[in-house]
Structure 1
Amino acid sequence: MEGEDKRRVVFVTVGTTRFDSLVKSVDSEIVKQELFAKGYTHLLIQLGRGSYLPSKCEGDDGSLGVDYFTFSSTIAENIRSASLVISHAGSGSIFETLKVGKPLIVVVNEDLMDNHQIELAEELADRKHLYFASPQTLHQTISDMNLSSLIPYSPGDATPVAKHINRFLGFPDD
């Protein structure tokens, strides 16, 4: 269908947790305007256990269409069909997205104490595999992002990242 070819979906996932600050951020007018300005047409948000419900919108009026759901048995198809993924910093979501070669913005839940997920997100951002943001800086990250500057992730990269995380957590190197 002709309309489907022009659909550029941003898929947002919070995993199985509660991450209302991320959902509120992507539902803000400034983030939706930045996404629309970058050529995205639809925003699909997986809410997890959160209580904040975004504003649904069809997107027919020259704005971003917005829809959401709480849980799904798998988000693999949502990731594969997305033009951009915005994810919490869970390693499963990160590596599932990178494995299929989708551009990714990882947003760290700053409400979690001793959050080792920050280490993973920072390391992968330093390697130019993804962008890294907080809920407060997400709009600026979207505004500044240049997806052509991202380096495709190769599964062979996991060993140094895993070693880095293990050292951070105090496990000995093998």
Structure 2
Amino acid sequence: MGEGGSDDGFSRELSKRTVFVTVGTTSFDKLVMAADTDQVKRELRNKGYTHLVIQMGRGSYIPQKNDGEDGSLVVDYFTFSPSIADHLKASSLVISHAGSGSIFETLRLGKPLVVVVNEDLMDNHQIELAEELAERKHLYCARPQTLSKTIANMDVESLLPYVPGDATPVVKHINRFLGFPED
């Protein structure tokens, strides 16, 4: 070990900053394809992220793996995992579909979050949830075609922590939208 530091893997592990992309149990190829673009990878690298792990669910689009030897983002993917929670905990940034389970699990862990809404879904109430939480500055909201711009413009330090129990206003908003009577 020289004066300038160690190469024991420990310092490399400390500087590892992983972005975890999840589509849950669905198929959301547009999100996987967006995450796999050179523009998104470049923006992530510019923000200091080192690894990109994509959970592609039932999708048919296969992202391109990369070992990062050339200094670019290390990219890996898988379809399903028995514990998405482990990937969420290990990540520095999460890019997720707009499923409420994924959103609230990520926020509960205090991880910065970009929610990408699937505009192809009919009666998509997930959009309202994501946009409401983005308005409250708990997360960023994007579309597949705006993901690279959202990443370029985001400042994860400006996000506000989500406090569990804070869901009442969101639930009221959704209930109003759905036409349910207020209590």
Q: Which residue of 1 aligns with 2:153?
A: 144
Instruction: Structure 2 unaligned segments of length 5 or more: list them.
Output: 1-9
Say yes or no: does 1:29 pair with 2:42.
Answer: no
2:179 match: 170
- Which residue of structure 1 lines up, in the alignment, with residue 73 of structure 2? 64
SS of residue paired to 2:40: helix
Tell me, in whole angstroms, the C-alpha distance in 1 between the residues paired with 2:141 and 2:178.
21
User: Whose Rg is larger?
Assistant: 2
CA shift, 1:172, in A, is 2.1
Q: CA deviation at 1:171?
A: 2.1
Alpha-carbon distance in structure 2 between the residues aligned to 1:137 and 1:58? 26
Could you say which residue in structure 2 is the equivalent of 1:159?
Answer: 168
Aligned equivalent of 1:116, options 125, 131, 140: 125
Asked if 1:52 corresponds to 2:61, the answer is yes
SS at match of 1:167: helix
Cα separation, 2, equivalents of 1:62 and 1:9: 15
Q: Does 1:126 align with 2:135?
A: yes
Q: CA deviation at 1:170?
A: 2.2
Deviation of 1:163 (Å): 1.5
Structure 1 unaligned runs (5+)? none
In 2, Cα distance between equivalents of 1:76 and 1:107: 19
Aligned positions of 1:80-99 closer than 5 A: 80-99=89-108
1:7 paired residue among 12, 16, 19: 16
% identity of equivalent residues? 71
Q: What residue identity is the alignment partner of 1:31? A: V
By how many angstroms is 1:164 displaced? Answer: 1.2
What is the aligned length?
174
3-state secondary structure, aligned to 1:165: helix
1:138-165 deviation line (CA, Å, top 9, x unaligned):
0000000011111111012111111111
Shift, 1:74, TM fit = 2.0
For residue 155 of structure 1, give the secondary structure of its aligned residue in structure 2. Answer: coil
RMSD: 0.8
User: Deviations for 1:26-73, whole angstroms, at most 9, x for unmatched residues?
Assistant: 000000000001000000000011000000001121100000110112
For 2:85, the equivalent position in structure 1 comes to: 76
